[in-house]
Amino acid sequence: MPASPPTPILLWLRNDLRLHDHEPLLAALATHASVIPVYCVDPRHFVADDALAVPKTGPFRARFLLESLADLRASCRALGGDLVVRVGEPEVVLPALARELGATAMHFHAEVTSEELAVEQAVTRALATIGVRCRAYAGHTLVHRDDLPFDVRELPEVFTRFRNRVERDVPIREALPAPATLPSVPCDAGALPTLAALGLQDPEPDPRTRFTFVGGERAGLERLSAWMWREDRLRTYKQTRNGLLSPNDSSRFSAWLAFGCLSPRRIHDEVRRYERTRVRNEDTHWLVVELLWRDYFRFVAETAGPRLFAAGGVQGLRFPWRTLRDRGVREELARWTSGTTGFPLVDAAMRELTATGFMSNRARQNVASFLARVLGIDWRLGAAWFESWLLDYDVSSNWGNWMYVAGVGNDARGFRFFNVYKQAQDYDPDAAFIRHWLPALAALPPHLAHRPEQASPRVDHPAPMVDMFRAARESEQRYLRAVGASPTDAPRSPAPPAPGSRRGGSSRR
């Protein structure tokens, strides 16, 4: 009797677009089933944000996604398999595909944030009704969720406590190997959509771009090798990581990490190898600390539930954020988004973001603090702007960092804001970053590039839109009143919303 063909198993891919260190893939292959990797390009990820009139996924990230899918498909094909791509909502596409192929199971990496969870629940419900078993795996983090020395709901409120505990008690697992072969896929793999089909245009290359991100596992591994080994940048990472202009000052791994083209454990393995063969110092350790920040925000997001997207953050602080309904906010927000606030560090960074899809961590902290702390504008408008433009957008890292800078996250210690003048002097002393992105200031000496309103004759750059110290003092007064009036025991982890419900929609701001 001829052997019956192996039962198909779907492998639902989301932010895990790689073959290395992929537990659900290896587990599915171990069953000797015909494993069918599927990616659904979800149209909800491309709809316009009502308030900001920008797509939820902007052109830089969308292009990176398509490049990553093309790369993964090529890698799968080289091993005898394929990557199936469909445009549509996963809860519609996956049950239809399972039925068409007679799949009996589906493996996938679980997500933790509300919209993603809602989709996941809709998918698993729909598959359950047709008898398809779903198996979810924890992934995405350096520290495996199952290895945490505490229940995730008992996550320490302060990063340092989390880090100390994890560094003391948790051995980091090694990255899993990529499979050597893949089974063939018994259906049409489907064409990748174009940017135009997603309602986007290819972003114009800006000649000032110093670093070009290319999506995909191979490009991510190549960046790892180039930055860490060939350029040998890990040995000085802690000292350079706050740099604003040079692409090698920090790793730039973030976009590949966000899409899962690079696994943090693979980076960690390389750090350990580097430490064994080249040097082990504070700088090499610091990259691991930064990856732990990433983990921390992911676990914070899991415990916060919808509060990650609430104006009062995890603290439930009743801060009277200025919203689009308030007088002047629309204009102020437009000056922030267009990089015309009159504060050169903020303006240079905001222009870099829309020209390249990237902004350094130091600059992100400054522009976020300026919007939320100095102008007192609802931080979620800033987070939504970043969501659209960032190449490395990651739900937990973005909303978690914004919440933190806005003072409504864990570990909020009173009212603090970044003095963008001082930050510019400290981190851009020769004004190279400012002059790179603000051509009108290119010819000014550094002290005037930092304060162009003092230049004579006048230069073509807007005057500061506010008196920073006065605006921050007013914001502080409102903050102190709010702290006095806020609940201390906000509820934790309410149920996720229905799929398609939008976090931070204009009605919630």
Ligand X SMILES: Cc1cc2nc3c(=O)[nH]c(=O)nc-3n(C[C@H](O)[C@H](O)[C@H](O)COP(=O)(O)OP(=O)(O)OC[C@H]3O[C@@H](n4cnc5c(N)ncnc54)[C@H](O)[C@@H]3O)c2cc1C
| Binding residues for ligand X (CB under 6 A) | 241, 250-254, 257-258, 287, 290-291, 293-294, 297, 360-361, 364-365, 368, 386, 390, 392-394, 397-398, 401-402, 405
> How long, in residues, is the chain?
509
How near is the Cβ of 252 to ligand X at its closest, in Å? 4
How near is the Cβ of 409 to ligand X at its closest, in Å? 11
Q: Nearer to ligand X by C-beta: 101 or 405?
A: 405
How near is the Cβ of 407 to ligand X at its closest, in Å? 12
Nearest CA to 400 out of 490, 314, 334, 506 is that of: 314
How near is the Cβ of 291 to ligand X at its closest, in Å? 5
Q: Nearer to ligand X by C-beta: 84 or 363?
A: 363
Cα 63 off chain centre by: 15
Q: Nearer to ligand X by C-beta: 13 or 390?
A: 390
How near is the Cβ of 143 to ligand X at its closest, in Å? 13
- Per-position DSSP letters for 94-133, written without gaps between them: HHHHHHHHT--EEEEE---SHHHHHHHHHHHHHHHHTT-E
Q: Nearer to ligand X by C-beta: 106 or 258?
A: 258
Edge to edge, the sheet with strand 105-109 lists 84-87, 34-41, 8-13, 105-109, 133-137
Beta-carbon contacts of residue 278 (< 8 Å; ≥ 6 apart): 232, 234, 235
Q: Nearer to ligand X by C-beta: 143 or 257?
A: 257
How near is the Cβ of 360 to ligand X at its closest, in Å? 6
Tokens 């049409």, located at residue: 188
Q: Nearer to ligand X by C-beta: 107 or 223?
A: 223
Q: Nearer to ligand X by C-beta: 81 or 357?
A: 357
What is the C-alpha to C-alpha distance for residues 216 and 256, in angstroms, rounded to an integer? 7
What is the C-alpha to C-alpha distance for residues 480 and 317, in angstroms, rounded to an integer? 11
Is 161 in contact with 50 (CB distance < 8 Å)? no
How near is the Cβ of 473 to ligand X at its closest, in Å? 23
Residues 346, 352, 353, 354: is their CA dihedral positive or negative? positive
Q: Nearer to ligand X by C-beta: 66 or 383?
A: 383
How near is the Cβ of 294 to ligand X at its closest, in Å? 3
Is 312 in contact with 417 (CB distance < 8 Å)? no
What is the C-alpha to C-alpha distance for residues 342 and 361, in angstroms, rounded to an integer? 21
